[in-house]
Amino acid sequence: MSDVLCPCGTGKPYVGCCGLYIEGGQLAPDPETLMRSRYTAFCKSQYAYLKKTWHPETYPEDLEQGEPSNWVGLEIIESSWEDDEGEVEFKARLILENRLEVLHEISEFDKVDGQWLYHSGEFLNEDDPVKIARNAPCPCGSGKPFKDCHYQA
């Protein structure tokens, strides 16, 4: 399974992309890389990594009790950082109750003791979730019709 593509959308294999940080113990060098690895950790329910990269000030103690989500895509719109502070604007797509939802957020990151941490985010959502037709191609990009892929009866 070492050639499985990373969910974060770089087109690289997971082991040479976010896997370096989630399972390889390396520190993400910048906020955008951290953002990608955290998205991938959400996809894979890697809660220990999410906790490790979450600022203790804002870490939600009930994180692991949340519903597992069907994340199907990440698009980084803009990222910037200076010294110990950074910002990443992104859109993440997920399927929830057979609807496609786009989470549009600006996340803020702080560097603490040499490690980038997610601090908090501001939602910029403007669109309501869209119902996915059963015969439409699945938004996850598998090439299968939705009804044979992420559809939930």
One of 6, 74, 94, 117 touching Zn ion (CB under 5 A): 6
Q: Which is nearer to Zn ion, 28 or 138 (CB)?
A: 138
Can you tell me which of 88, 100, 132, 138 binds Zn ion, judged by CB under 5 A?
138
Of 44 and 150, the one with the shorter C-beta distance to Zn ion is 150
The residue assigned the tokens 């939802």 is 101
Nearest-angstrom CA–CA distance, 73 and 5: 12
Q: Are strands 99-112 and 115-123 parallel, antiparallel or unpaired?
A: antiparallel
CA angle, 124 then 128 then 130, to 5° = 130
The only residue of 8, 28, 50, 94 in contact with Zn ion, by rule CB under 5 A: 8
- Minimum Å distance from CB 142 to Zn ion? 5
| Residue with smaller CB distance to Zn ion, 8 or 117 | 8
Nearest to 31 by CA among 67, 80, 78: 80
142 is a site residue for Zn ion (CB under 5 A): yes
Alpha-carbon distance values, 146 to 48, 58, 96 (Å): 31, 36, 13
Q: 40 φ, ψ to 5°?
A: -60, -40
Does 88 contact Zn ion by CB under 5 A? no
CA angle 149, 42, 28 (to 5 degrees): 130
According to the binding rule CB under 5 A, does residue 26 interact with Zn ion? no
The contact mask relative to Zn ion for 103-122 (x = CB under 5 A, - = no) is --------------------
By C-beta, is 71 or 110 nearer to Zn ion?
A: 71
Binding positions for Zn ion, rule: CB under 5 A: 6, 8, 17-18, 36, 138, 140, 142, 149-150
